[in-house]
C-alpha cells in the first residue's frame, strides 16, 4: 500500500491545451503510458479543424480532410483508433479556371482541350525562358513558383487561388510556402503524369486514393479522446485557458478563464502561439514585437443542402476564377456513403477566407448563404432552378498561419523565447505557427509525448519545416490541404 501511494504521488501530470489532432495525439500517447493527463479545449468540440459533426441528418467535416501518410508512427495511430472502420476513397479533384475544369492530377487530353494552343505554346515558352534566365535567390512565393513553372503557368494555376487564401499579394508570401508545399513537383513531372494518366504516380501532390473513417475524419479524434478517458485521463470541453502559471522560467500549470488554477509538471500547448505569448508576464519588448508580426487567416464555411444526389463527381474543387470569392468546394456526397445516411440531398461546403476586419467575416449568415448559392450558379456547378433546402455557416478563426515574407525572423525570436521555459512544449498548426496537415500535427503530438516520456529528444520546431521527416520528402497538395 505504501509503495503504491508513493508511485501515485510521484506520477507525472501533463496538461494539454487543445483537443485537436496535435493535442489529442499527444494526450493519447501519454495516457497510454500511464501518465496523468488533462486536456482543456476552449470550444465545445473534439477534433479542432479536423472535427466532424451532424448536419441535416448527414455527417460532414470542416471542409475536405484526407488522411495519407507513409510514416509508420502516424499510420499506427490511425490503425489503433480507426481499426477497420474506414474506407478507401478514390480521389477526384478539379481546378476551375477560365470557365473550364481541369482534372487534378492533370490529364493531357483534358489540358489540351481546355487551353488554347497559343496558351500552351506560351506556357512552354515562358518555362524555357525561366530556365535560361532564372530569378536568383527567390525571396517570395511568386518568384519561386515562376522559377519552377514559368510566368504563364504561375498565373493560371497558382496566383489567384493563393491570394484568395492568404489575403495578401503573392509577392508578400514567403518563399517557404512554395518550398514546403510544391518542392519536388516540376513542370515536366506534371506533364509526365498527365501523359500516363497518373498511373504509378509516386509524387505526393498527385495521390489518387486516401483512407477515410466511415463516420468522418473527426472519428479519429473522438476515439482518441475516449481512449484518454479510458486510460484515466480527463478531457474538458468549453474550458478556455487564460494563461500559463509560471514560477521564474518553470511552467507549473495553467489558469483557466474562470480563474481556476490547474497544477501540472508539464504543459503541452496547441493554443495560438500569439495568445500564449500574450499571457506571459514580463515578456521582453522584442518578443512582443515579433509576436505582433505573426498573424492568422480565418475560414468561413458555407454549407448548402442541395435537393439533388447528382451535382458533380468531385470530392472537392479548387476555384481559381477571379469572378467569385469562394476558393474551394467540397461535395460530401462523393466521399463515403455512410456520411449521407438515408438522405437524398447533397451537402456542399464552400470555403471563404478572411481576416478579422474583413466585411465578409462579420456578414450575416443569410447573406453568406445567398452568396454561396449565387457563386455556385455563376460557376455552372448547380442549375438556376435547383432547390437549396437549407444553409448553415461555420466560422473558424485563426485557421492558417500566414507566411508573410520575413515571418521566419519573427518566428525564430518567439521560438527562442519559448524555449527558455522549462516544462513547456508548443505543437500543432496554431501552437507552433506551422502550416500543418493533420498528419503533421499527429506526428508532432506523438513526438512531443515521446519527448515528455524521455524516449526521444526531437526538435519539434523542425517538424514541417522542410518536410523531410516523413513521406520520403514528398509533399502533399500543391494547392491546399
DSSP SS3 for 350: strand
pLDDT for the residue 181: 63
Task: Domain 2-51+218-291+405-473: give its CATH architecture.
Answer: 3-Layer(bba) Sandwich (3.50)
Which helix (H) or strand (E) segment is 377 a member of? helix 365-379
Can you tell me the mean pLDDT for 145-155?
Answer: 87
Can you give the pLDDT at residue 465? 52
CATH of 296-401, one of 3.40.50.150, 3.40.309.10, 3.90.660.20, 1.20.1440.230: 3.90.660.20
Bridge partners, 243 (sequence order): 255
The residue count for the chain? 481
Q: Please give the torsion angle defined by the CA atoms of residues 246, 291, 137 and 163, in that order, rounded to the nearest 10 degrees.
A: 130
Q: In the structure, what pLDDT confidence band is assigned to residue 322 with cuts at 50, 70 and 90? A: confident
The pLDDT of 121-150, averaged and rounded, is 89
Top-confidence range, 85-89, 151-155, 387-391: 387-391
Rounded CA-CA distance 181/466 in Å is 9
Q: What pLDDT is stored for residue 480 in this prediction?
A: 35
User: What CATH code would you report for 106-200?
Assistant: 1.10.3110
Q: What is the mean pLDDT of residues 139-147?
A: 89
| Cell digits of residue 49 | 479543424
What's the pLDDT at 192? 59
- The residue with cell 525564430 is 412
230 against 148, higher pLDDT? 230
Residue extents of the structural domains in the chain: 2-51+218-291+405-473, 106-200, 296-401
**DSSP-assigned letters across all residues of 260-322:** -EEE-SEEEE-S-HHHHHHTSTT--HHHHHHHHT--EEEEEEEEEEES-S-S-S-SEEEE--T
Distances (CA, A) of 434 to 107, 216, 428, 476: 32, 24, 7, 15
Q: Which of 105, 55, 279 is nearest to 209 (CA)?
A: 105
Distance set, CA 168 to CA 165, 183, 321 (Å): 8, 22, 17
* Percent of residues, the chain, with pLDDT higher than 70: 87
Ranges 112-116, 288-292, 327-331: which has the least confidence = 112-116
- 459 vs 23: CA distance, rounded Å: 17
Give the model's pLDDT for residue 339. Answer: 94
Tell me the pLDDT tens digit for each residue of 182-216: 655 555 555 655 555 545 444 444 457 888 999 99
Q: Cell triple for residue 94?
A: 478539379
- Could you give the CA distance from residue 204 to residue 280 in angstroms, rounded to a whole number? 40
Q: What confidence tens digit (pLDDT) does each residue in 3-52 have?
A: 343 344 458 999 999 999 999 999 999 999 999 999 999 999 999 999 99
Q: What is the pLDDT of residue 55?
A: 97
Amino acid at each position: 500500500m505504501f509503495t503504491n501511494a508513493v508511485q501515485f504521488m510521484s506520477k507525472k501530470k501533463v496538461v494539454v491545451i487543445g483537443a485537436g489532432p496535435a493535442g489529442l495525439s499527444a494526450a493519447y500517447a501519454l495516457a497510454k503510458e500511464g501518465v496523468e493527463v488533462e486536456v482543456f479545449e476552449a470550444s465545445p468540440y473534439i477534433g479542432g479543424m479536423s472535427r466532424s459533426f451532424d448536419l441535416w441528418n448527414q455527417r460532414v467535416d470542416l471542409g475536405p480532410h484526407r488522411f495519407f501518410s507513409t510514416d509508420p508512427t502516424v499510420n499506427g495511430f490511425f490503425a489503433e483508433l480507426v481499426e477497420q472502420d474506414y474506407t478507401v476513397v478514390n480521389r477526384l479533384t478539379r481546378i476551375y479556371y477560365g470557365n473550364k475544369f481541369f482534372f487534378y492530377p492533370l490529364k493531357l487530353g483534358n489540358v489540351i482541350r481546355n487551353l488554347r494552343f497559343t496558351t500552351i505554346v506560351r506556357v512552354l515558352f515562358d518555362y524555357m525562358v525561366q530556365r535560361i534566365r532564372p530569378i536568383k535567390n527567390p525571396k517570395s512565393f511568386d518568384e519561386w513558383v515562376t522559377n519552377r513553372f514559368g510566368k504563364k503557368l504561375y498565373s493560371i494555376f497558382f496566383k489567384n487561388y493563393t491570394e484568395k487564401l492568404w489575403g495578401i499579394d503573392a509577392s508578400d508570401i514567403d518563399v517557404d510556402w512554395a518550398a514546403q508545399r510544391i518542392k519536388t513537383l516540376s513542370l515536366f513531372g506534371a506533364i509526365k503524369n498527365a501523359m500516363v494518366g497518373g498511373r504509378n504516380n509516386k509524387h505526393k501532390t498527385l495521390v489518387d486514393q486516401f483512407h477515410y473513417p466511415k463516420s468522418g475524419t473527426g472519428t479519429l479524434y473522438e476515439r482518441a479522446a475516449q481512449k484518454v478517458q479510458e486510460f484515466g485521463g480527463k478531457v474538458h470541453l468549453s474550458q478556455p485557458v487564460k494563461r500559463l502559471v509560471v514560477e521564474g522560467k518553470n511552467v507549473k500549470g495553467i489558469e483557466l478563464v474562470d480563474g481556476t488554477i490547474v497544477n501540472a509538471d508539464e504543459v503541452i500547448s496547441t493554443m495560438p502561439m500569439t495568445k500564449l505569448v500574450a499571457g506571459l508576464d514580463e515578456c521582453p519588448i522584442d518578443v512582443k514585437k515579433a509576436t505582433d508580426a505573426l498573424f492568422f487567416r480565418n475560414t468561413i464555411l458555407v454549407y448548402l443542402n442541395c435537393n439533388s444526389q447528382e451535382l458533380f463527381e468531385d470530392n472537392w474543387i479548387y476555384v481559381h476564377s477571379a469572378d467569385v470569392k469562394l476558393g474551394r468546394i467540397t461535395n460530401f456526397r462523393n466521399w463515403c456513403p455512410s456520411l449521407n445516411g438515408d438522405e437524398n440531398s447533397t451537402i456542399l461546403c464552400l470555403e471563404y477566407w478572411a481576416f478579422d476586419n474583413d466585411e465578409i467575416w462579420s456578414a450575416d449568415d443569410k447573406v453568406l448563404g445567398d452568396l454561396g448559392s449565387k457563386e455556385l450558379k455563376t460557376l455552372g456547378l448547380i442549375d438556376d432552378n435547383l432547390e437549396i433546402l437549407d444553409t448553415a455557416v461555420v466560422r473558424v478563426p485563426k485557421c492558417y498561419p500566414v507566411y508573410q515574407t520575413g515571418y521566419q525572423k519573427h518566428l525564430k525570436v518567439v521560438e527562442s523565447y519559448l524555449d527558455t521555459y522549462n516544462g513547456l512544449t508548443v505543437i500543432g498548426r496554431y501552437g507552433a505557427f506551422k502550416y500543418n496537415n493533420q498528419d503533421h500535427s499527429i506526428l508532432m503530438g506523438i513526438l512531443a509525448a515521446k519527448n515528455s516520456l524521455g524516449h526521444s529528444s526531437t526538435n519539434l520546431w523542425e517538424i514541417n519545416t522542410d518536410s523531410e521527416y516523413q513521406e520520403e520528402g514528398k509533399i502533399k497538395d500543391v494547392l491546399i490541404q
